[in-house]
A and B are shown apart, each in its own frame.
Chain A
Amino acid sequence: MLSMIAFVVLALTVLVAAIKCVSSRNVIHGTYWLLLCAVGTAGMTWFLGAEYLAITQLLIYAGAVGILTMFTVMVTHRSHNTASREVKLSWSVLLLALGFFGLVAYGVILTPQLAHFTTVAEPIPFAEFGLALFDVNGQAFAFEVAALVLLVALIAAVWWTKDNDDDKDQEGDHAG
C-alpha cells in the first residue's frame, strides 16, 4: 500500500509538471516545469529499483539538458513579449492525444500476461553493470558507437551555432 502511495505521488508530480510545461504561456516557466518533470522521472526510475539509471537521469536531464534549454531560451527570447505567448487549447490535437492514450491503455489492459508482472527485480550491482558495459563480448561495441554518436552530435551543434560568415552576408553587415 505504501509503495502505491509513493507511486501515485510521483506519478502526479510528473504528470502535473508535464501538463504545466506544455501549457504554460511563458517558455521560461515551462523550462522550470520541465526540470521538475525530469526530477520526478528520475524519482520514478529510483522507485522502480534502478538507482544507477536514476542518478544518471538526474545528471543528464535535470542538470545538463535543463541548463542547455534555459540558455537557449535566454538567447532566443530576448524580451518578455516573445518569451510569453498565448496558448490556445487545440481540441483536435487533444482528441488525438487522448485517442493515443486510449489505444495504448486498451492494448495494455487487454494483454492479460502483463498483469502477472508485479514484483520488481533486485538492482544489478554497479560493478556487474559496468563490466557488462565495457565487455568486448557484451555491450562494448554499442557503447563505443553511442559515444561516437554523441561526439558527432556535439561537433554538429558547435558548428551550427558558431558565428559563420554566411549569416553575416545574408544580414548585410560585414564585420570586416
Chain B
Amino acid sequence: MLVNFDSVGLVTVLLFAAALFSVGLYGAMTRKAAVSVLMSLEIMLFAISINIVALAQFIPGAQMYGWHFSLFLMVIGAAEIAIGLSLVVAIYRRIKTSDVEKLQVLKDHE
C-alpha cells in the first residue's frame, strides 16, 4: 500500500505538496489583482519548500543539501516577493491600477 495510514511517508507529503501547488497555480492564472497573483506564487513557493524539506528529511544522506537548498529557496522567494511588490507599487503609481488585465502598455501602443 503506497499511502500508509499508520505513519506519514514521503508519498503522502509529495501528494499534499502537489495539491498545494495546484491551488497556487489556479490562483496565479485566474486572479486579476497583481497582489493576488503574487500571493498565489507564494503559495506555489510554499509547496516547493515543503517538497524539498520532505525529500531532504526522508531520503538518507540528502538532509544537509536539502536544508541548504531550502534556505536558498527562501532567499530567492523573499527577493522575488520584494521585486514583485515594488513593481506592483510602481505600476500603480504610473497607471493607477494594479489589475493585470489592464496592463496593456505594450499592446497596440508605440
A→B interface (CB under 8 Å): 1, 3-4, 7, 11, 14-15, 18-19, 21-23, 27, 30-31, 34, 37-38, 41, 44-45, 48-50, 52-53, 56-57, 60-61, 64-65, 68-69, 72-73, 75-77, 82, 85, 87-88, 90, 93-94, 96-98, 100-101, 104-105, 108-109, 112, 114-115, 117-121, 124, 129, 132-133, 139, 142, 146-147, 149-150, 152-154, 156-158, 160-161, 163, 167, 170
Contact = CB atoms under 8 A, between A and B. Distances in A.
B53 A53 contact: yes
A161 to B, nearest CB: 5
A50 B70 contact: yes
A56 B77 CA distance: 13
Looking at chain B's contact residues, the main secondary structure is: helix
Contacts of B50: 41, 44-45, 48
A114 B11 contact: yes
Interface residues of B, number: 75
A82 B7 CA distance: 46
Contacts of B97: 82
B78 A64 contact: yes
A161 B81 contact: no
Contacts of A88: 30
Nearest to A95: B26
A108 B64 contact: no
Given A56-B74, A156-B86, A114 B43 contact: no
